[in-house]
Structures are given as C-alpha cells and as structure tokens.
A and B are shown apart, each in its own frame.
Chain A
Amino acid sequence: MSVATRLNRPPFKRSPVGRALTSQWGARLTSYVVFIIGWQLLAMLVERVPGPWETLDFIWREVSGGDLGGVRRGQFLEHFGATVPRFAIGLTTSFVVGTVVGIAIGSVSFVRALLSDVLLVFLALPAIIWAFLTVMWYGLGWEAPVYTVILSATPFVAVNVAQGVRAVSPELHRMSDAFGVPRNRRLRSLMLPAVTGYLFTGLRFAVIIGWNAVLLAEWFGATDGVGWRARLWYDAARYRGFIGWAIIFIVFIFLLDGLVLSPIQKRAFRWRKSASDEVDLEHGLADMEAIAKTPFL
C-alpha cells in the first residue's frame, strides 16, 4: 500500500458500544464485573467464602431486620450512628491539629528539628497499637475509638502539610517580598492555596487510616459500633456477616470519597486547566513516594 493510499484512508471509527467499553467509565465497570465474577467463582470453589448474592442478602437483612443464629437484625443504623460521630470527631481533630503542626514544621526550622523524630515514631506505629493502648487507658467506650483515630491520622496530615509548605515556590515568595505583600494576605492567597494539594493528600490518608483505626478500636474496645458488630459476626463464625460488614466499610469509604472529598477537591482545583482524576492521582502517588523514599523533615 502506498503512503498516499494510507493517508487517504478514512479514519477508523469505533461503534458506540466500543466507545463505551473503552471509556474510563467502561474500564471501571469492567473491573467491577470481573471482581464480582471472580468472587462468585471463589465462593463456588471454597466453602468458607460466601458469594456476592449471599453477602448482599445479609447486608439487606442487617438493615431491614430479622434474626440470624439468635442475633437480632436491623441494627445497622444504630451501629453506624455510633461509629460515624466517633470517626468525624477524630478526623476533624486530626485535620486541624495536623494542619497547624504541619505549617509549623514546614515553616520554622526549630520546630522541624524538635518534632521530626517524634512524628517519625508516630508514623511508624500502626493503628492496632494505638487501639490496644487507648483501650487499656480508657476502657470500653467512645474515647478509645476517637483517640485511636486522632493518634493514627494526625501524623499523616502533618507530614503532608509540612511538605506542602516547604514546596511553595521561592520565586512567588520573592515576588511577594518585592511588592511588599502583607503577611496575612500572603498566607491566604499564596501559602494556603499552594498547600491545598498536599492537604487533600493528607486528608485522604487520614480518612483511610482513621477509618481503619476506628474499626480496630471498636473491635477491641467498644460495646457498639460497626467494628464491634463485625467482631460479633466473626466470633459467631458467620462468614457472610463478617464479609458483609467488610463490604459496608469499603462502600462507606467510596461514598465519602466520591460524594464529599472529590467535589471539594474539584472546586479547589478549578484553576487547573485539566483538574482530572489522573492529575490528582499523580499528585497523591508522588506524595506517597516522597513519604516512602525521602527524609521528609
């Protein structure tokens, strides 16, 4: 085939179905379908793995009511209603404290020297250690889950904010110096927007780590809440109950991310020409890599 013939060939057109399947949504949908099929196959092969429909049925009964092995059902909202405020209080405190500590570490070398090793210790301690400690300190109740969230999530917010503060362009600082921009305006218009990307990365870490932390603390040190409820089904050796609650945990994080965090993030980054998920993911991965590889403080 000559070059001219090839150039004159009409461009390849995909059918609407082909376009849908190769779109981003198509790719996501494909991953869900493959996951559910794989899960179903595993359930058919392994007796102790409940299938997706069986699990879904369990979740529905956990919401709507009934009885399973002598355990009263329909208490979903009661337990969820106990956990969410603990998680929200812990996460909000982590966000505020982590941001203040992060700004101090990022801007003042003395504070950086003072807190760098302390923060490293906190980062290295897994949530389960905090869960055990807080249960030993406070016993069964709401305190252990809340403090476990705060102790586990705050260092991740602080370290990300500190990195963000240190990454603010020195050229923009010099420009502000040259024009004599006042300190409060500089904080509002230069520092905070520059740190926003890192703040969101820190918040996402905090959400995931804080959620794990609240569940662990409730597992060991509460008399209600979703962590406690998951343990109940675990102790009763009801696999579909345990898996069902694990699915609920995952769905909660997905909803929180999709309905709360992503819209706020899109609004905060509307100045970017392409504020796409790819850019944000790239940003998040770069930060994770930075945390893993570099001496962050």
Chain B
Amino acid sequence: MATLKIENLTKTFHAHSKGGLPTRAIQDISFEMSGQVFVSLVGPSGCGKSTLLNIVSGVDTPSTGTVTVTQDGKKARLGYVFQDPRLLPWRTVMQNMLYVSDLHEEEGRANATKYLEMVGLEHAHEMYPGQLSGGMQQRVGIARAFSVSPDLLLMDEPFSHLDAITARSLREELQVMWNATKKTVLFVTHDVLEAVQLSNRIITLAHGGTVFDDTTVELPFPRKASDPDFAAHQAEILGRFEVMEAERAAAAG
C-alpha cells in the first residue's frame, strides 16, 4: 500500500495582473497517510483542497515543502477521479479505459471489463460518452481510475456535479468498490455527510490553506446516514466547522 507524506507544503499563486497580490492557497501543511485508508479532505471553497490534490498528482508544483508518494520505497502509481469525468468524447467507453492502461490490448480489455462491471456498465463498452448520462460518465471515470491499479487513488469532489440521487447511489457503489479493493484513497469534498459515509479519517482544512482538524471515523461499513452514530459523528464535525468559522470571524474583527 502507498504512503503519502506531505511536509511543510506551501503553495502561492502569482498575481494574475501587474500590481495584483499573490494568492496563498496552502500554508505550511504537513500530514502522512499510509495503508488501507480512505482519507477525506474537507473544508470550505477556496481552502486549497483541489490545489493540494493537483500537487500530489504532479499536475502542479509546490512553492515550498515536499510531497512524496511511495509504494514499497518506489514511486507509486496514481489514479485520479476528477470533478467532471474528463473522457475523450471521440473514443468509446472501452477505448477511454484503454487510453490510460499500461497493459497489452487483450489484458487491458479484460481488466477494463472487470471494472466496468463493478460500476454496472458492462453493456456500455461500445458507447460514446455523449450517449451516456452524467452519472454514467462519472462511473466510467471511477472505473478508469480503479482500472490502472493505483497505489494511491485521488478523488476530487467526484460527485459534486451530480444530482443528489445519483450522487448517493455512486457513494454506495464507491463504498463497495473500496471495501473490495482497499486502495489508499485521498478524497476531496466539501460535503461532511459524504466524508463521514466514506472515510476512515477526515482532515479539515481552514480558510487560508491550513489544517484545522484531523480526526478518525471508526464506524462499521456499510454506513447509512440514518444510523444514530453516523448522525452524531456528522454533527460533531459540523460543530467543529462552526468553531472554525467563529474563530475566523473573531480574527477578522
């Protein structure tokens, strides 16, 4: 299983215009995660969650600090589920799966079929993304990320563009897939319910890109929002959010 180690990470974006001020998205964040864990990063919009994920994936670079993702001492293989599915519209579902695969054609097809079956899209191999609903496209995105056998799976608010019913159904499917594969997952969301339902550990980022809270969730899977323990956990985290907002308001005067 992969180990993600983040040490004193800071990210500052340069000013867009002359005379403008640089924006600090992340400020001195450190944490480590390893093994069969599902870690959620929660926090308000603009607190640097997606920036952190981009840096971990290598799409963006840190201003200072280090990020290492290793698997048994070697560089780890990453999978990524984006907010929007990001499928090639001119390629079929199967071709989209093969686009990211390192395996030979036959082996890749068998592997892709396995993960498409897990998300209930075994009938959609030859369909184009434009022929699928938003939920089905995101299922392909999830299957694609799992299919590369990632050591670390990064998920950036994958259900935020979907309607509530589809998002709920996909969350349940993701729970099943994670329990079957036990991948190391770093999941970004602004939805506390989603974080409590899916995660072993929840890291809360505050405005300004700092870690406000880091807590574990020890509830058995599958988790249901109607369960009193679930509701209590969700309420506890939301309570901490309120404290965070109160501290911010006090600091702002």
Residues of A within 8 A of B (CB): 171-172, 174-181, 185, 189-190, 193-194, 196, 271-273
Q: Which residue of A lies closest to B89 (CB)?
A: A271
Give bound CA distance, A271 to B83, whole Å.
23
Give the chain B neighbours of A179 by CB distance below 8 A.
Answer: 78-80, 99-100, 148
Give bound CA distance, A171 to B89, whole Å.
13
Q: Which residue of B lies closest to A268 (CB)?
A: B90
Interface centre among B80, B84, B86, B95 (most CB of A within 10 A): B86
Give the chain A neighbours of B79 by CB distance below 8 A.
Answer: 179
Give bound CA distance, A172 to B129, whole Å.
14
Give the chain B neighbours of A177 by CB distance below 8 A.
Answer: 57-59
Shortest 4 CB-CB contacts between residues of A and residues of B: A179-B100, A178-B80, A175-B86, A193-B90
Q: Which residue of A lies closest to B77 (CB)?
A: A180
Give bound CA distance, A185 to B91, whole Å.
13
* B219 interfacial contact with A, CB 8 Å: no
Cβ contact within 8 Å between A171 and B86: yes
Give the chain A neighbours of B82 by CB distance below 8 A.
Answer: 171, 175
Give the chain B neighbours of A174 by CB distance below 8 A.
Answer: 59, 86
Cβ contact within 8 Å between A271 and B86: no
Cβ contact within 8 Å between B91 and A189: yes
Choose from B89, B99, B130 the contact partner of A185 (Cβ within 8 Å). Answer: B99
Cβ contact within 8 Å between B130 and A272: yes
Knowing that A177-B57, A271-B128, A272-B130 touch, tell me 9 more A-B residue pairs with CB under 8 angstroms: A172-B86, A174-B59, A175-B82, A178-B58, A178-B78, A179-B80, A189-B91, A271-B91, A271-B130
Q: Which residue of A lies closest to B57 (CB)?
A: A178
How distant is A171 from chain B, measured CB to nearest CB, in Å?
5
Give bound CA distance, A272 to B89, whole Å.
8
Contacts A/B (CB < 8 Å), 30 sampled: A171-B82, A171-B84, A171-B86, A172-B86, A174-B59, A175-B80, A175-B86, A176-B99, A177-B58, A177-B59, A178-B57, A178-B58, A178-B59, A178-B78, A178-B80, A178-B154, A179-B78, A180-B78, A181-B99, A185-B99, A189-B88, A189-B91, A189-B99, A193-B88, A194-B90, A271-B89, A271-B130, A272-B130, A273-B128, A273-B130
How distant is A196 from chain B, measured CB to nearest CB, in Å?
8
Q: Which residue of A lies closest to B145 (CB)?
A: A179
Interface centre among A174, A179, A271, A273 (most CB of B within 10 A): A179
How distant is B164 from chain A, measured CB to nearest CB, in Å?
25
B 54-86 contacts with A by CB, 8 A? 57-59, 78-80, 82, 84, 86
Give the chain A neighbours of B88 by CB distance below 8 A.
Answer: 172, 189-190, 193
Give bound CA distance, A178 to B88, whole Å.
15
* B131 interfacial contact with A, CB 8 Å: yes
Give bound CA distance, A178 to B83, whole Å.
14
Give bound CA distance, A53 to B148, whole Å.
68
B 135-193 contacts with A by CB, 8 A? 148, 154
Residues of B within 8 A of A (CB): 57-59, 78-80, 82, 84, 86, 88-91, 95, 99-100, 128, 130-131, 148, 154
Give the chain A neighbours of B95 by CB distance below 8 A.
Answer: 189
Cβ contact within 8 Å between A273 and B131: yes
Give the chain A neighbours of B99 by CB distance below 8 A.
Answer: 176, 179, 181, 185, 189
How distant is B14 from chain A, measured CB to nearest CB, in Å?
18
Interface centre among B59, B84, B88, B91 (most CB of A within 10 A): B88
Give bound CA distance, A185 to B58, whole Å.
20
Give bound CA distance, A177 to B154, whole Å.
14
Give the chain B neighbours of A175 by CB distance below 8 A.
Answer: 80, 82, 86
Q: Which residue of B lies closest to A185 (CB)?
A: B99
Give the chain A neighbours of B154 by CB distance below 8 A.
Answer: 178
Give the chain B neighbours of A196 by CB distance below 8 A.
Answer: 90
Give bound CA distance, A1 to B33, whole Å.
72
How distant is A167 from chain B, measured CB to nearest CB, in Å?
14
Q: Which residue of A lies closest to B129 (CB)?
A: A271
Give bound CA distance, A180 to B99, whole Å.
10
Cβ contact within 8 Å between B100 and A271: no
How distant is B57 from chain A, measured CB to nearest CB, in Å?
5
How distant is B231 from chain A, measured CB to nearest CB, in Å?
35
How distant is A262 from chain B, measured CB to nearest CB, in Å?
18
How distant is A39 from chain B, measured CB to nearest CB, in Å?
43
How distant is B68 from chain A, measured CB to nearest CB, in Å?
17
Give the chain A neighbours of B89 by CB distance below 8 A.
Answer: 271
Choose from A171, A181, A194 the contact partner of B100 (Cβ within 8 Å). Answer: A181
Q: Which residue of A lies closest to B144 (CB)?
A: A179
